[in-house]
């Protein structure tokens, strides 16, 4: 449902295509949407073959080109074309920018109600390319207890409800990240400027102060507006190097990590003891040399990522618990129980692959049975599946059995984290639900006016929809960047290059194969030799009709690349038989 706020308009339709020659004619194929080819109209811009263009329908089966975006052989141009196609309204209007400039001047305002934490050692940890620093951490020893300060950018201070900036942020609901950059939710003057917790400058924050014992149990919590200065800015690799002992830390950082590191493990241990799921996700991490993409590798969660995540989850939980206890209408981040029959199907898949499975009856299962079974099954995968020998395929099965996490005002808890109350609070620069939560909290604390709550259900649904749309764009952008890298590797090493892969999924017409721990391609059943292969009833194997030869889920296969489509990010494979 669209957000019910004046000034928020639906996206306009924009279509991007690529110019191709067919016989004597120049035609346009839609680049990222389904549709038929169109002839290039005589009026409009004259293109070249290979141009990425924005076009509008003319008369007949013709298209008039309104803009040439770039070339299909250039990664930056393709990703720009993707954003033009999917996010046609990316620029901020002049009135929004003017309002942002005016709001930014409030940085100099002295607020007597803020707690002065400028003398407290504070640091941030973000991706190396980040410019929007939402969160920072501080630690202080109090006898046997440790006080954790989670400082979050006070975006609500600069973005009043109902302002033009707020209306635009609600329309977008989230920043969108692609390998070449970010489409921010807020103007850069705010997102990368006065709201961002940059090192060495005073920043207005909303602090969650949590006192923990050595076992990670919460003794007390309070929330307040603060004034902070970030003393050090780290990226995840730098923090991991500190943990590994390969990078020296300043005395202040070393003292902070000495307090925080064992506490993070204790907090996570308590969450795991309650039955939270531990599912490994693998995402591409791109390496750039200036504006040139030079490489990528599969990034798995390191201790440095877990360290930050543990304290952000803690803050999110504490805020959600407080708001629910105080009966403050807000937007929760909820994750429902898996459907028992989806869980049962997952267990059948595991059993067909000889992975140990717990006993489970979907007809009589209680919510506690579902939780116990899912946690046990994930534990079996963790202990029995080598990371590069089928683990990714099994992790994907666990993910597919889950319900989707969404935003809503009715709190049903968060199954995956095993929390009774949870919200998104720690990223208000890039997520609109966090900004809604900030306003509710500030209103309850008497630090700001109470916000509008009557339309929260509609806004929560809108944010959930836009989150899914943004994720699709980000995944496609990653696939496109990987396709460009793969195409270059093949050009350098030759098309006969072979890869070791594992089967991670099936369609009726073939198998999806993850290879080189990073790329995914499609292996058509017609390319499998010596027989006619069909998907079996459990959808866990392609089986030869005559020979019974099977290619199973999580099985290893050697493959070679037969084609790469850099516009769609799709890769076709064949078995490497020599």
Q: Cα separation of 206 and 208, whole Å? A: 7
pLDDT at 11: 41
HSE of 322, CA atoms in CB hemisphere, 13 A: 22
Q: Are residues 58 and 129 in the same domain?
A: no
Q: Are residues 106 and 231 in the same domain?
A: yes
HSE of 161, CA atoms in CB hemisphere, 13 A: 19
Q: Are residues 159 and 41 in the same domain?
A: no
Q: Are residues 102 and 35 in the same domain?
A: no
The domain boundary residue, chosen from 26, 51, 86: 86
Residue 416 lies in a domain: yes
Q: Cα separation of 264 and 278, whole Å? A: 15
Residue 246 lies in a domain: yes
Q: What is the pLDDT of residues 207-261, one digit of tens each?
A: 999 999 999 999 999 999 999 999 999 999 999 999 999 999 999 999 999 999 9
How far from the centroid of its chain's Cα atoms is residue 222's Cα? 29
Q: Are residues 370 and 326 in the same domain?
A: no
Distances from the Cα of 551 to the Cα of 323, 499, 528, angstroms:
51, 17, 9
pLDDT at 237: 92
Q: What is the pLDDT along the chain (578 residues), one digit of tens a residue?
A: 344 443 333 344 568 999 999 998 999 999 998 889 999 998 888 999 999 999 988 887 899 999 999 999 999 999 999 999 999 899 999 999 999 999 999 999 999 999 999 999 999 999 988 889 999 999 999 999 999 999 999 999 999 999 999 999 999 999 999 999 999 999 999 999 999 999 999 999 999 999 999 999 999 999 999 999 999 999 999 999 999 999 999 999 999 999 999 999 999 999 988 888 877 777 898 988 888 899 998 887 789 999 999 999 999 999 999 999 999 999 999 999 999 999 999 999 998 888 888 999 999 999 999 999 998 888 888 776 655 567 888 888 999 999 999 999 999 999 999 999 999 999 999 999 999 999 999 999 999 999 999 999 999 999 999 999 999 999 999 999 999 999 999 999 888 899 999 999 999 999 999 999 899 999 999 999 989 999 998 889 999 999 999 999 999 999 999 999 999 999 999 999 86
Please provide the size of the chain in residues: 578
Q: Are residues 507 and 544 in the same domain?
A: yes
Q: What is the pLDDT of residues 81-117, one digit of tens each?
A: 999 999 989 999 999 999 999 999 999 999 999 999 9
pLDDT at 382: 76
Residue 352 lies in a domain: yes
Look at the block and give the residue holding tokens 């046997």.
Answer: 144
Q: At what angle do helices 236-244 and 303-325 cross, to 10 degrees?
A: 110
CATH number of the domain residue 36 falls in? 2.40.50
Q: Cα separation of 95 and 175, whole Å? A: 20
Give, as one character, the DSSP assignment of residue 374. H
Strands 406-408 and 292-299: unpaired
pLDDT at 292: 87
User: Exposed e or buried b for every residue in 180-212, given b needs 16+ CB within 10 A?
Assistant: bebbbbbbebbbbbbbbbbbeeebbbbbbbbbb
Q: Are residues 126 and 54 in the same domain?
A: no
pLDDT at 496: 85
Q: Are residues 316 and 198 in the same domain?
A: yes
Q: Are residues 70 and 157 in the same domain?
A: no
Residue 487 lies in a domain: no
What's the predicted TM-score (pTM) here? 0.93
CATH number of the domain residue 520 falls in? 2.40.50.140
Residue 488 lies in a domain: no
pLDDT at 192: 95
Q: Give residue 234's domain range.
A: 94-335+406-480
Look at the block and give the residue holding tokens 């599946």.
Answer: 385
Residue 3 lies in a domain: no
Q: What is the pLDDT of residues 401-441, one digit of tens each?
A: 999 999 999 999 999 999 999 999 999 999 999 999 999 99
Q: How many domains does the chain have?
A: 4
Residue 129 lies in a domain: yes
Give, as one character, the DSSP assignment of residue 59. S
Residue 156 lies in a domain: yes
Q: Are residues 505 and 368 in the same domain?
A: no
Look at the block and give the residue holding tokens 């004597």.
Answer: 24
Give the contacts of 158 (CB within 8 A, at least 6 positions apart).
Answer: 103, 104, 106, 165, 190, 194, 195
The domain boundary residue, chosen from 480, 508, 532: 480
The domain boundary residue, chosen from 373, 401, 429: 401
Give, as one character, the DSSP assignment of residue 441. H
Q: Are residues 156 and 291 in the same domain?
A: yes
Q: Are residues 175 and 37 in the same domain?
A: no
pLDDT at 4: 42
């Amino acid at each position: 449902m669209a957000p019910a706020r004046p000034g928020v308009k639906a996206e306009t339709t924009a279509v991007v295509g690529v110019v191709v020659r067919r016989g004597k004619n120049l035609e346009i194929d839609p680049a990222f949407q389904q549709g038929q080819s169109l002839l290039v109209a005589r009026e409009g811009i004259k293109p070249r073959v290979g141009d990425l263009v924005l076009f509008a329908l003319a008369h007949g089966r013709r298209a008039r080109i309104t803009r040439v975006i770039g070339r299909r052989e250039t990664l930056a141009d393709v990703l720009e074309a993707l954003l033009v196609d999917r996010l046609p309204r990316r620029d901020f209007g002049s009135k929004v920018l003017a309002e942002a400039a005016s709001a930014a001047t409030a940085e100099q305002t002295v607020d007597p109600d803020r707690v002065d934490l400028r003398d407290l050692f504070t640091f941030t940890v973000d991706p190396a390319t980040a410019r929007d620093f939402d969160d920072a951490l501080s630690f202080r020893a109090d006898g046997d207890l440790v006080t954790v300060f989670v400082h979050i950018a006070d975006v609500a201070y600069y973005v009043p409800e109902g302002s033009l900036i707020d209306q635009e942020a609600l329309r977008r609901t989230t920043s969108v990240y692609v390998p070449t950059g970010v489409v921010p939710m807020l103007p850069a003057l705010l997102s990368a400027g006065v709201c961002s917790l940059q090192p060495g400058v005073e920043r207005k924050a909303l602090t969650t102060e949590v006192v923990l014992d050595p076992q990670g149990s919460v003794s007390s919590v309070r929330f307040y507006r603060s004034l902070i200065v970030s003393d050090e800015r780290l990226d995840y690799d730098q923090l991991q190097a500190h943990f590994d002992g390969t990078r020296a830390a300043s005395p202040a950082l070393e003292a902070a990590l000495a307090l925080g590191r064992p506490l993070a493990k204790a907090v996570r241990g308590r969450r795991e003891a309650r039955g939270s799921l531990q599912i490994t996700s693998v995402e591409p991490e791109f390496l750039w040399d200036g504006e040139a993409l030079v490489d990528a590798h599969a990034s798995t969660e390191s201790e440095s990522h877990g360290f930050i995540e543990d304290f952000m989850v803690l803050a999110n939980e504490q805020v959600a618990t407080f708001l629910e206890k105080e009966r403050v209408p807000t937007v929760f981040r909820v994750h429902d129980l898996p459907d028992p029959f989806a869980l049962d199907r997952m267990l059948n898949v595991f059993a067909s692959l000889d992975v140990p499975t717990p006993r489970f009856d979907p007809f009589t299962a209680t919510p506690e049975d579902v939780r116990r079974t899912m946690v046990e099954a994930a534990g079996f995968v963790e202990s029995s599946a080598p990371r590069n020998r089928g683990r990714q395929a099994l992790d994907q099965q666990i993910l597919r059995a889950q319900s989707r996490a969404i935003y809503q005002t009715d709190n049903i808890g968060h199954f995956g984290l095993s929390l009774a109350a949870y919200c998104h609070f720690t990223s208000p620069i890039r997520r609109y639900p966090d900004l809604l939560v900030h306003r509710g909290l500030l209103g309850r604390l008497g630090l700001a006016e109470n916000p509008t709550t009557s339309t929260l259900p509609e806004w929560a649904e809108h944010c959930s929809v836009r989150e899914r749309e943004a994720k699709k764009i980000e995944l496609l952008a990653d696939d496109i960047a990987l396709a460009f890298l793969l195409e270059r590797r093949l050009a350098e090493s030759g098309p006969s290059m072979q890869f070791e892969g594992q089967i991670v999924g099936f369609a009726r017409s073939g198998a999806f194969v993850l290879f080189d721990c990073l790329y995914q391609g499609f292996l058509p059943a017609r390319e499998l030799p010596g027989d006619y292969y069909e998907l079996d009833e459990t959808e866990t194997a392609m089986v030869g009709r005559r020979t019974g030869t099977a290619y199973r889920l999580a099985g290893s296969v050697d493959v070679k690349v037969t084609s790469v489509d850099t516009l769609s990010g799709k890769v076709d494979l064949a078995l490497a038989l020599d």
